[in-house]
Amino acid sequence: METILKVIGVETYLYLSALLFSIGVFGILLRRNAIIMFMSIEIMLNAVNLMLVAFSTFHQDASGQVFVFFSMAVAAAEVAVGLAILVSIFRNHGSIDIDKLKNLKG
């Protein structure tokens, strides 16, 4: 492991993580399908997880990896809730295009 990290370098992981995070952000901003946006959020979460793991290895400290486990568990719960909400929205509106969800308008 250490050798691989030494060969590739920690900054490569950071670039990858930043790239993944940016993809997530653009997905959120540009797509209008709620499920796609949901997936984008997952990508962002995983980008952060990747960074945590990379730094954990770099610093020889396991607590970063412990965080990732927590984060994954929370993400799983979030997915469950989020998908349930989406299903419910679809049942009520017949669509999951977020441009059509304007009930929060003040």
Please identify, using beta-carbon distances, which residue of 29 and 81 lies nearer to other proteins. Answer: 29
> How many of the chain's residues bind other proteins (CB under 8 A)?
12
Question: φ and ψ at 97, to 5 degrees?
Answer: -80, 120
45 secondary structure, DSSP code = H
Task: Please give the residues from 30 up to 69 whose contact with other proteins meets the rule CB under 8 A.
Answer: 32
Cβ neighbours around 13 below 10 Å, total = 18
CB 86 within 8 A of CB 38: yes
Query: Hey, what's the torsion of the CAs at 90, 94, 99, 101, to 10 degrees?
Result: -60
Please identify, using beta-carbon distances, which residue of 4 and 81 lies nearer to other proteins. Answer: 81
Tell me: does residue 76 bind other proteins (CB under 8 A).
Answer: no
Please identify, using beta-carbon distances, which residue of 24 and 57 lies nearer to other proteins. Answer: 24
Q: Which residues bind other proteins (CB under 8 A)?
A: 25, 28-29, 32, 98-99, 101-106
